[in-house]
Amino acid sequence: MRFNLNLLGYEFALNVDCREKRTEYVAGYTNRCKDGKYCIFLDYDNSKLEWIRAELRHLQHAFLLSDFYVFQSSKDSYHAVCFDKVTLQKYIQILKNSSVDVNYIYVPLHYGKKIWSLRLTDKNNLPVKHIGLMKGGLTEREQSSPHAKLINTLFKLNIKLKNPDNLKDLIICRYRI
């Protein structure tokens, strides 16, 4: 809903958005590393898996990225995680070259703490499931040990990093959906 008010030679506009209050909480993990760099998190909603795979291959070639681990988060929604660590500027560049939801790119930049998260726990009784690996090229970048350890533990994978950073801490979050 939009309200306009003309007063003293100025036009005031107010946009109002109304939606049902979210009450369900989920747990997630964030992509910011303790050294200030970022793992590559991509969150695709209402997307075809074939399109995502093609896009991940393009991003791997364009940005010289290693493997992407692909997860189904709900029907036609997916997460892709690459453990390569990049600067904030490079991460934003990767996001802008992807087809993730524009809100996924800009909300943390403008209203958050410049931290992106992906859900780990069930949503509407649907778990996040590991569904594949997109092999990438060799990387010279450091890779996040805590992110790989978490994914290894939760999804019982056997991830071996080429250039582990050997850091220990990871930021876990809880938020409403």
Alpha-carbon gap, residue 60 to 82, rounded angstroms: 10
The parent domain of residue 90 ranges over 21-176
Concatenating the DSSP letter of every residue in 6-18 gives: EETTEEEEEE---
Q: Cα(first)–Cα(last) distance of the chain, in Å?
A: 23
Q: Please indicate, yes or no, if residue 66 is contained in any of the structural domains.
A: yes
Are 118 and 170 within 8 A, CB to CB?
Answer: no
Mean pLDDT by 10 residues, the chain (177 residues): 82 74 84 97 96 98 98 95 98 98 92 91 87 94 98 96 96 85
Structure tokens at 34: 């303790």
Q: Please indicate, yes or no, if residue 131 is contained in any of the structural domains.
A: yes
Q: Please indicate, yes or no, if residue 9 is contained in any of the structural domains.
A: no
Q: Please indicate, yes or no, if residue 143 is contained in any of the structural domains.
A: yes
- At residue 24, the 3 state secondary structure works out as coil
Are 131 and 70 within 8 A, CB to CB?
Answer: yes
What pTM, to 2 d.p., does this model score? 0.85
Look up the CATH number of the domain holding residue 67: 3.90.920
